[in-house]
Chain A
Amino acid sequence: MQVPIWKEGEYLFASLLTGLSDVEFLHFYDNLIHQVTVHKPKGVIVDASYVDILDSYATRMLNEMAVGVKKEGGMIVVIGLRSDVFSAMNQLGLNLKIESVPTVKEALTKLNHQYDDTMKSNG
């Protein structure tokens, strides 16, 4: 099962699937970093609406992806994270170090703000 990643305009999109194995998560990580390096997007939007669980391994992988994307000058925003999944992560003590918003529209707003701020600070 491969996580689909596609380019739309100046952004990359990925749709997390439910029941991803650790190896599939690693492939997703490698593929995403590769795509970011190639396309240099303004940001990455990861749709998590199909995900019914994010355990400590998945959370750590997502956090590492955020670090990898940031190194390439981008940012990840997660959309559609279910409230029960978010609640279970919180109760377990897991900290997703990625912005999470409900919709694509809000994700694009966040990414554009971040991109503008980066451009300003780079002069």
Chain B
Amino acid sequence: MKGEKVQHQGVADVVSLRVTSEKDIIKARECARQVAFKIGFDSKDRTLIATAVSEICRNVIEHAERGEIMIESLQDDPCGIRIIVRDDGLGIENIDRAMRDGFSSGDGMGFGLPGTKRIMDKFKISSERGKGTEVIMAKWLQ
């Protein structure tokens, strides 16, 4: 698995990757799929997680050009995967509008953020104009 491995307290495993090009989107989603496999997610959930990572990393490339993703394996209480994506781009002017189905400011179909929220168990987005955006999302192992 490519990426830098670091260890955080309370987290079983962390993989950190830079997101600076569209090829990094593919690396990030493959990495998320592998971590999800190790945790024990089934094929359907692994695809959901990889799709979520693809959408959020695509936002980084389209709106901030560069950022980073951390994929964490959570082993207990609850067991699952947590994904943190940060960028230092311009930030999102209106998060409520960005979270509406069909709203797109890029090359997608406008389902990236709201769709990702639907397919993950936890989704939190925070953004500040001029400082960047952070998405924290998680899926629990059922």
Q: Which residues of A contact B (CB under 8 A)?
A: 19, 21-23, 52-57, 59-60, 82-85, 87-89, 91-95
Docked complex: B1-58 residues within 8 A CB-CB of A = 22-23, 26, 29-30, 33, 43-44, 46-48, 50-51, 54-55, 58
B68-76, B79-87, B89-97, B111-119: which one contacts chain A?
A: B111-119
Which of A60, A84, A93 makes the CB contact (< 8 A) with B47? A84
B121 interface hit (Cβ, 8 Å): no
A-B contact pairs, 9 of them (CB 8 A): A52-B47, A53-B29, A55-B51, A56-B115, A84-B47, A84-B48, A88-B44, A92-B119, A95-B109
For A54, list chain B residues within 8 Å (CB): 51
> How many Å lie between the Cα of A54 and that of B119 in the bound state?
14
Which of B23, B47, B58 makes the CB contact (< 8 A) with A56? B58
Q: Are B48 and A19 in contact, with the CB atoms below 8 A? A: no
9 A-B pairs with least C-beta separation: A92-B115, A56-B108, A93-B111, A55-B54, A84-B47, A88-B51, A84-B44, A56-B109, A93-B115
For B112, list chain A residues within 8 Å (CB): 56
Q: Are B47 and A53 in contact, with the CB atoms below 8 A? A: yes
Q: Are A53 and B22 in contact, with the CB atoms below 8 A? A: no
With A19-B26, A21-B22 known as contacts, the answer to whether A92 contacts B108 (CB < 8 A) is no
Q: Are B30 and A55 in contact, with the CB atoms below 8 A? A: no
B107 interface hit (Cβ, 8 Å): yes
With A21-B22, A55-B58, A84-B47 known as contacts, the answer to whether A91 contacts B119 (CB < 8 A) is yes
For B30, list chain A residues within 8 Å (CB): 19
Which of A21, A52, A56 makes the CB contact (< 8 A) with B50? A52
Q: Are A93 and B54 in contact, with the CB atoms below 8 A? A: no
The count of chain B contact residues (Cβ–Cβ below 8 Å) is: 28
For A57, list chain B residues within 8 Å (CB): 58, 107-108
> How many Å lie between the Cα of A54 and that of B48 in the bound state?
10
Q: Are B108 and A60 in contact, with the CB atoms below 8 A? A: yes
Q: Are A53 and B119 in contact, with the CB atoms below 8 A? A: no
Q: Are A53 and B54 in contact, with the CB atoms below 8 A? A: yes
Q: Are A94 and B22 in contact, with the CB atoms below 8 A? A: no
> How many Å lie between the Cα of A21 and that of B118 in the bound state?
25
Q: Are A93 and B107 in contact, with the CB atoms below 8 A? A: no
In the complex, given contacts A19-B30, A56-B112, A87-B48, what are 7 additional A-B residue pairs having Cβ atoms less than 8 angstroms apart?
A60-B107, A82-B47, A88-B44, A92-B51, A92-B119, A94-B109, A94-B115
